[in-house]
Amino acid sequence: MFPYGKKMIAAIACALTFASFAPFQSAHAAGMSASDQAALAGYWSPVLYQDVGANPEADIPVPVNFDGDWSALNSWDNIGNYAKGSSLPLNPSVYWSLVETETHYYISYDFFYAAHDPKGSLGDHENDMEGIMLTIRKAGTEKEDGTTVTNPNGEIELVLMPRHAKLGMYAPASGASYEPGLDTVYYDDTFTVENHATGKHIPVYSAQNDEYYTESEGDFGHALKPYNGGGAKGDTGYVFQWGGAGSAAGNMNASDNWEAKLGDFDDSKRMNYQLIPLETSLWPLRNDFTLNLWSSYGTFLGDDGKDNAANTPWGWSFEGYRDLGSGRMLYDPAGFVDALFDGLGQFSTVYLTNPYSG
């Protein structure tokens, strides 16, 4: 069994700020502060290229309680109240979580949608949560090739993106990558990183609902993959990003943003999303079955389309890797990566910051 360091975070800073992080020194280093976690989550936050279809409000990532309550049984019913022309605020939002070992940060970004509604009927279900996980080597640690990371905020070595219960695996477009450790492990593609004043950001594509669930590339129902510059289907998409410390989140129902920001992934029209810490928002409710939120641990209630078909990160497991356990990418990401890959270089499974281990 892997040893876990359990550090409960009292609060997350309202304004995200940059920080530099000390190089790896010893197994007894303290876990990260709440403000340092938030700053690192902002620094590595993705740029989201969100395709939208005929009902774009259901293609916008929002908080689970976007409608003012924690019921998952009315998400599909209520999202239409926030469509174009509404005076209600609809704020693009991204959940983040961070786990730290002696050698790596594992930062996840999760996107919640009120409905998974591709064309046809077999793929419909209320609620939808998709996400990505970045494996980031810490400054001062040695890679497999013998070089040492010098960027104080680390270096991305791997990105995992679940796609409809399958696990997409992506290597850096430049630089060394891990070696597959199992016969079933292979890289789907590569990812790139944009450099901005706010940090380093991976461009990520999210598919629209308005596509058949049998679409050949699997690009339906908010499936995620690295964005390759191919544009939005029908020239109808939005680009969302974190705007930096102290920036305000956008509102789809303000300033005619539904039309003004719509385009063929026009980077000049980027809108800000808000970053929400998973640890202090949704995670504390995980065992509260007095709410109309869960059908079981890690699974949302839902009664439109297929019942109870959407999972949270602590309920995720993946085709071909079920034996690694549900939720392991969240609560034991180092063990998860270690089980899938070889050639990891200096690699520790000793956790310094892990609020999801218990």
CB contact at 8 A, 331 and 354 = yes
pLDDT of residue 125: 95
User: Would the pLDDT of 186 be above 70?
Assistant: yes
Q: Is residue 40 part of a domain?
A: no
In a domain, 111, yes or no: yes
* CA atoms of 20 and 154, how far apart (whole Å): 9
Q: What is the pLDDT of residue 217?
A: 80
Residue 94 domain-assigned? yes
Q: Express each pLDDT in 60-114 by its tens digit.
A: 999 999 999 999 999 999 999 999 999 999 999 999 999 999 999 999 999 999 9
Whole domain around residue 227: which residue ranges?
48-353
Predicted pLDDT at 2 = 34
CA–CA separation, 100 and 272 (whole Å): 27
The model's confidence at residue 23, banded by pLDDT at 50, 70 and 90, is low
Residue 15 domain-assigned?
no
The token pair at 176 is 């060394």
Strand locations in 20-72 (E):
47-51
Q: Distance between CA atoms of 296 and 299, rounded to whole angstroms?
A: 5
Number of domains in the chain: 1
- pLDDT at position 330 is 98
284 to each of 138, 281, 356, how far by Cα in Å? 28, 6, 10
8 in a domain, yes or no? no
Residue 28 reports pLDDT greater than 60: no
**Quick check: 144 and 343 in contact, CB under 8 A?**
yes
Q: Which residue has the tokens 């492990």?
A: 185
DSSP H or E segment with residue 196: strand 194-196
Report residue 27's pLDDT band, with 50, 70 and 90 as the boundaries. very low
Q: Is residue 185 part of a domain?
A: yes
**pLDDT at residue 176, as a whole number:** 85
Residue where the block lists tokens 């289907």: 233
In eight-state DSSP terms, residue 331 is H
User: In a 3-state reduction of DSSP, which class is residue 94?
Assistant: strand
pTM for this prediction: 0.92
- Domain membership of residue 7 (yes or no) is no
Inform me whether the pLDDT recorded for 4 exceeds 50.
no
Please, which residues have CB within 8 angstroms of residue 204's CB and are 6 or more apart in sequence? 46, 47, 48, 49, 132, 161, 224, 225, 226, 227
- Whether residue 224 is contained in a domain is answered as yes
